[in-house]
Amino acid sequence: MQLPAVVLPHGILGISNSEVKVDKTEGKFGPFSGQVFIGDMGQSKIMRVVLEKVKGEYQGVAFDFRSGFQSGVMRMDFDNNGNLFVGETNRGWGSAGTTNSGLEFLTWTGRIPFEMKTVKSMPDGFEIEFTKPVDKSSAEDLDSYKGKSYIYKYHAAYGSPQANLETIKIKGVKVSEDGYKVRIVTDNLRPFYVHEITLNGVKEKASGQLILHPTFYYTLNNIAEGDKLVLTELSTKRSSKIKKKVAKKKPRTSKKVVAKKNPILTDEQIQPLLTNNTCVACHHKDKRLVGPSFKLIAKRNYTNEKIVELIYNPQPKNWPEYATPMAPMPQVPKDQALKIAAWINALD
């Protein structure tokens, strides 16, 4: 079996990938010359991919690039001025956006965005190269990074959840002298897994801005050879460990506090469940995608149990205005489905 060079996480970087286009504009389209752009019909968006060869096999990293197209992204081509023209249609199948077809183009403004330009495999982690120098203090803070690794199952049900999840333990980081590169060191790299790391706290040196697209998805078929960094070379500081003033405890009263039996999860708490069970592939909290928004579903006044039933056995006739019928999702654990249903109903 030939391994995929790069996995585009389902529901995050598209659901119905389309044309692949290499940037050969020699800088006319921005700082990503030579990189690969991949369209997606269902989510009406474009992703960016960078490949490298490790031990003779291709592997690499994927990033989100641009979303919000008016219909499904199907065909892409650069003109002589470096504009990326995008031919769009959902072919009656359904996609994010407001129309069934379209023709749009992307042009570079000339301003370089603060982005991760590329990510490379290292024997003890990854090396990130940025388009602009990073603020050293924020980049050396381990609390600026959060990651996990996972694989997908091949099975009959549509859209595998992320399987065999494991938190990536960041041991330390090293920022280059010029600020353009950061080495992330971890001791739990897993061959054949997608390694997803989000840089929530890393800022640009000049402006203090955060990264435009802060998450990378690296498909690690082979771990690179070479020298590992020693611990003394790494920053291991965490801003969360800075001591803060402890508020004085209030005197106890006779009032009894009763915890809710089944508290409704917050947006932040529900997001991993929506992502892992691929709900975000077709649904958004506020906006119409391939399917209705969660807020619109909440207005139907279904019970939590009814929503769970519809997850397992969808009824397309209930939503005739949506061309794409929802596939049955029997793989969603019932306890998680109930939590999702409760969260949806709380949106009304």
pLDDT at 272 (0 to 100) = 84
Give the full edge-to-edge strand order of the sheet including 181-186. 116-122, 125-130, 181-186, 170-175
| Residue 154: alpha-carbon gap to chain centroid | 20
This prediction's pTM? 0.84
Q: Which segment of 159-163, 168-172, 253-257, 267-271 scores lowest on mean pLDDT?
A: 253-257
All domains of the chain in start order, with CATH? 17-233 (2.60.40.1220), 267-345 (1.10.760.10)
For residues 327 and 314, the answer to whether their CB atoms sit within 8 Å is: yes
- The reported pLDDT for the residue numbered 274 is 87
Judged by average pLDDT, the poorest of 124-133, 218-227, 248-257 is 248-257
Closest by alpha carbon to 279, among 174, 159, 163? 159
What does the pLDDT read at residue 253? 59
Average pLDDT, the chain: 90
Q: What is the mean pLDDT of residues 22-40?
A: 96
From CA 71, how far away is CA 284, in angstroms rounded? 16
Split at pLDDT 50, 70, 90, the class of 159 is confident
% of the chain residues with pLDDT over 90: 68
pLDDT of res. 5: 96
Q: SS3 for 344?
A: helix
Q: pLDDT (tens digit, 9 = 90+) per residue, 238-295? A: 998 875 544 555 666 555 555 556 689 998 899 888 887 878 878 889 888 788 999 9
Using the predicted structure, report yes or no on whether residue 28 has a pLDDT greater than 70: yes
- Integer Cα distance of 194 and 246 in angstroms: 40
| Confidence at residue 256, expressed as pLDDT on a 0 to 100 scale | 58
Looking at residue 277, its pLDDT comes to 81
Check if the beta carbon of residue 33 is closer than 8 Å to that of residue 22: no
In three-state secondary structure terms, 321 is coil
Residue 56: how many other CB atoms lie within 10 Å: 6
Give the H or E element holding residue 171: strand 170-175
Q: Is the pLDDT of residue 2 over 90?
A: no
Q: Which range has the worst mean pLDDT, 37-46, 85-94, 207-216, 299-308?
A: 85-94
Residue 185: burial class (beta carbons within 10 Å; 0-12, 13-18, 19+) = buried
Q: Please list, in sequence order, all residues whose beta carbon lies within 8 angstroms of the beta carbon of residue 173, skipping any fewer than 6 positions away.
A: 139, 140, 142, 145, 182, 183, 184, 185, 234, 235
**pLDDT tops 90 at residue 83:** yes
Which residues are within 8 A (CB) of 321 and not within 5 positions of it... i.e. 6 or more apart?
Answer: none
Asked if pLDDT for residue 124 goes beyond 60, the answer is: yes
Q: Which of 34-38, 97-101, 111-115, 242-246 has the lowest mean pLDDT?
A: 242-246
Handedness of CA 39, 42, 43, 44 (dihedral sign): positive
C-beta pairs of 311-318 under 8 Å, 24+ apart in sequence:
311/337, 311/340, 311/341, 312/337
**For residue 310, pLDDT beyond 90:** yes
Residue 340: pLDDT band (50, 70, 90) is very high
